[in-house]
Structure 1
Amino acid sequence: MSNKQPAAYINLEIYEDSINLLGVAKVQLPAIAFPCVNISGAGMMGEMEVPLYGMVSNMTTTINWLTPHGDAVKLMSPKKHQLDMRVAEEFWDVEQADVGLWADKYVMIVRPKTTTPGTVAPMASADTSGEYVVYYFAAYKNGEQLWEVDKRNMRCVILGVDYMAEVRKALGK
């Protein structure tokens, strides 16, 4: 067990193309789900669900904005957008009885799926949201890659192991 235990996210900033700072938002990161098939036959007790090796189901992310302003509208453009979320995460160092900070980063390549302008009401934010299809999703903690899922290039890398490498090799790639 590590002596450094996560405490909370302090703040984040979202950039498009690693340059353009986007507005105030809250991001629901995509779930990474492995599709399964059911198998059955002689020598088995009933059927069994088997996750397909290295394959990843559709991924979506949701970004919640305060109002339908420039950045929320810009990401409605029906094209590819590369988003970088830079996150300051506080951790508790159990051994030193002190706190520290990790620099986290999430990178996604997305295309817009839906935009919900939200609600107009006095003294309230609009709760604008956008849902985006995710083709690429990578996560880093203090510069170390935790995972990379690249659906278009058949890559599913988790803690440095590319689980699709043998599949690509079998296909002659």
Structure 2
Amino acid sequence: MALNISSDLVPQVINDYNAYTEDDLLIGLADEVTLPKIKNKTTSVSGMGIAGEVDSPVPGQFESMEATLNWNTMYSYATKMMNPNKNIQITLRAAMQNDNKNGGYTYKGLRVVLGGRPKELDPGKLKRADTMGSTTTLEVTRYLMEVDGTTVIDIDKFAGRYYVDGEDMRAEINALI
């Protein structure tokens, strides 16, 4: 099911959001989250009849995906996330604010699920009357994004799953292997 975007709405900002564990416990205090960049693996193709090289994407194959969570201070969940023997799942739930062109606001829900393993913990700094600026970096193997309940991105590297707007990008490939 494709995402329906009204021409009467002007997307503006993330009004607010929260972060949750895989057990649906609010962990909050994530000041900012840098979502993973989705970058296809590519291969360089050249040969007779091709005027130069073409950097060709390989559908369903991705480069490393990282997410960075910025914390106000260090606390127990940030350090628990560094257990290399445990997969981590973080769910972010946000309210996206839109101008409805009639002078009012409407809101759409955004849900992002990030799953993977810890890569890095930067405890930050200590400064009187200031946040620590701690960060946790995850190697993301599971990436799900929903807007108002509609799945727009669904990647699971270990399950060989890759959907965009509900369409299985690997259907033909998976049918052959």
Task: Decide: shared fold, TM above 0.5.
Answer: yes
- Residue type matched to 2:123 in 1? P
Matches of 2:112 and 2:144, distance apart in 1: 6
**Pairing 1:3-82 to 2, within 5 Å after superposition:** 3-25=8-30, 26-78=32-84, 79-82=86-89
Q: 1:3 to 1:163 in 2, by over 3 A?
A: same
> Are 1:115 and 2:115 counterparts?
no
- The count of corresponding residues between Structure 1 and Structure 2 is 170
RMSD (CA atoms) = 1.2
Q: Which residue of 2 aligns with 1:166?
A: 172
SS of alignment partner, residue 73 of structure 1: helix
Q: Which residue of 1 aligns with 2:156?
A: 150
In structure 1, list runs of 5 or more residues that go unmatched.
none
Matches of 1:18 and 1:91, distance apart in 2: 30
- Residue type matched to 2:77 in 1? D
Contact 1:18–1:83 under 8 Å retained in 2:
no
Matches of 2:175 and 2:8, distance apart in 1: 39
In structure 2, list runs of 5 or more residues that go unmatched.
1-5
Matches of 2:131 and 2:57, distance apart in 1: 42
Q: 1:18 to 1:2 in 2, by over 3 A?
A: farther
Q: What is the aligned counterpart of 1:88 among 95, 116, 121?
A: 95
Runs of 4 or more consecutive aligned structure 1 residues displaced over 6 Å after TM superposition: none
TM-score, normalised with respect to structure 2:
0.92
Matches of 1:91 and 1:72, distance apart in 2: 32
CA positional deviation for 1:18 = 4.6
TM-score, normalised with respect to structure 1:
0.94
Matches of 2:88 and 2:7, distance apart in 1: 36
Could you tell me the percent identity over the aligned residues? 26
Matches of 2:47 and 2:75, distance apart in 1: 56
> Are 1:124 and 2:130 counterparts?
yes
